[in-house]
Amino acid sequence: MLNCGHRCPSICGEKCPSKKFCVECKDPTTMSMLVDVIMGQNLGEIDIEEDLILGLSCGHALTVTSLDGMMEMNQYYESKMDKETGVVTYTGKKDLPSDEVPQVACHLCRKPITSLHRYGRRIKVAQLSQRCKKFQIAEAKVVNDAKRAFDVARVRVEENETKFLESLLKHIPEPCEVPPEASTRLLGRMDGTRFFPDTTVDDLTKVYNIPKEHEEAWKKYIHPVLGSLTAFRNINKKVSPTKQLFDAAVSHLYRIKVAPSYDVNLGQVTQPLYPEHATTVSDVVQACILECGLPRDGHGGSSFVDSIQERTNVLIFIITKVSSVISRLDKNNAKSGTNSGWYWFMEDLLLCARVHVEKLQTTAREGKRDRTAAYASVMRMDLIVKTVQLIASKPLPRWPVDEELMKQRRKVTDEWTEQFMIEHKAIKDHCPRGIKDELTEKANIFEERMATAVRAARGDAEYRPNRPSMERDIGTGVPMDIL
């Protein structure tokens, strides 16, 4: 009820507008005010029985239908429409958007609309988006500084490559046909407590039986880029605004769900908002995670995705250098690189890089960064090709033929082929239009290389390593400056 005694033209739960918006008193200063931006009607022309109005803090008003459209309610809530009356009912929440959400302003004075309960979810997301900008700018600067440092480190490593490779020829490694003990091979493995696998890439002698002289030379050679690996890891570990928001939202919802309330009818204390099928604390937490609508674990911020991407690029660069080591040793002394611990080191490096790419795919998809996820799929295809090429480079004895070993090798190769085709199909079916032609072309190139590697790995053709194109592309990865 308005102060004038007539019916309020607004909806229940919202603050009643000024009495000058009363459709019975017909204040001439407001009857001509535009309140329906869809139909272009003023207050005196609309039917309050069909479309209520909401008063804004600036002193203007809009119809509910107009505001629902301006606030993009269909992007934040599930809805259904009554076919007979045309009335829209909102039935559930949708996930919050990951993109920046602009504030909606009054159509007449441009003052931001911030005080309406009906649009609280949309308004708070927009406010959070604005407040996070300064943090995102600071995080972007940290990522860009780390990228520039990696560029410098890469140049330093490239400059010392020839000298490094020549130094290795003074100490030919002993054959190492049997893989190292699984308990010592930590590179690329997860321990259940960390988001990323182990990335220790300088412990060669103890784990892989690589000569101590090689290990010392490798540490000195690769040291510049290890700093970049650490820098991007620190960005991952930093608690970003997105992560803080996620933790706060889940904690707040948890307190609401478990809050006790006295039920007068039952005469006892109950928890009316406790999730229906939850039986443990973990179940309640999971229900809160789903309800909050934010990326799971908060791993959706741009700096987090960027840092995973750059960690992967560093690992791919290191894979390039190990490939050069194996090739140089093989060239100097037939298969002295492939038959040494460097082979097993390369195998673990490829595992580590694949795990990182899979993390990148997951976080990019959760953050709805479809272009990044598509590029990551191509990167994974490239790494799978390199994995099968590594399998193919290991010679099998021509006589006597080890049938069991060949059977196992073919099984592993077929499994990698299946994984490769899954990624290839994803590129063809789900790649964003703007980059589909580019990535489809790359995928087709990798498919040809995969076919050649598979034939060699299965023993159907002779493996021919060190092709110039492979040497050039093994660590190049895919252009990722798309964010």
Per-residue pLDDT tens digits for 173-230: 988 888 899 888 888 887 665 667 888 888 899 999 999 999 999 999 999 999 999 8
Check pLDDT > 90 for residue 474. no
Would you state the pLDDT for residue 480?
A: 41
pTM: 0.70
Count of beta carbons in the 10 Å neighbourhood of residue 106:
17
Would you state the pLDDT for residue 475?
A: 38
Q: Which of 60, 244, 224 is nearest to 155 (CA)?
A: 224
| Distance from C-alpha of 478 to C-alpha of 473, rounded to nearest angstrom | 10
SS3 state at 89: strand
DSSP single-letter state for residue 6: S
Q: Which of 465, 314, 471, 313 is nearest to 390 (CA)?
A: 465
Q: Average pLDDT, whole number, for the chain?
A: 86
Check pLDDT > 70 for residue 463. no
Beta-sheet pairing, 268-270 with 88-93: unpaired
| Distance from C-alpha of 385 to C-alpha of 164, rounded to nearest angstrom | 27
Q: Higher model confidence: residue 477 or residue 250?
A: 250
Residues contacting 341, CB < 8 A, separation 6+: 173, 176, 180, 204, 207, 208, 209, 210
State which amino acid sits at residue 158: E
Token duo for residue 266: 């039952």
| Distance from C-alpha of 168 to C-alpha of 340, rounded to nearest angstrom | 13
Would you state the pLDDT for residue 194?
A: 65
- The residues pairing with 263 across neighbouring beta strands, listed in sequence order, are 268
> Mean pLDDT across the stretch 402-412?
88
DSSP single-letter state for residue 84: T
Would you state the pLDDT for residue 296?
A: 55
DSSP secondary structure of 359-419: HHHHHHHHTT-HHHHHHHHHHHHHHHHHHHHHHHHSPPPSSS--HHHHHHHHHHHHHHHHH
Check pLDDT > 70 for residue 299. no
Would you state the pLDDT for residue 481?
A: 43
H/E stretch holding 188? none
Beta-sheet pairing, 77-81 with 88-93: antiparallel
pLDDT tens digits, residue range 227-280?
A: 999 888 887 666 566 667 778 888 988 999 999 988 888 888 888 889 888 889
Token duo for residue 293: 């609508």
In terms of residues, how long is the chain? Answer: 483
- What residue spans of 43-97 are helical by DSSP H? 64-70
Check pLDDT > 80 for residue 303. no
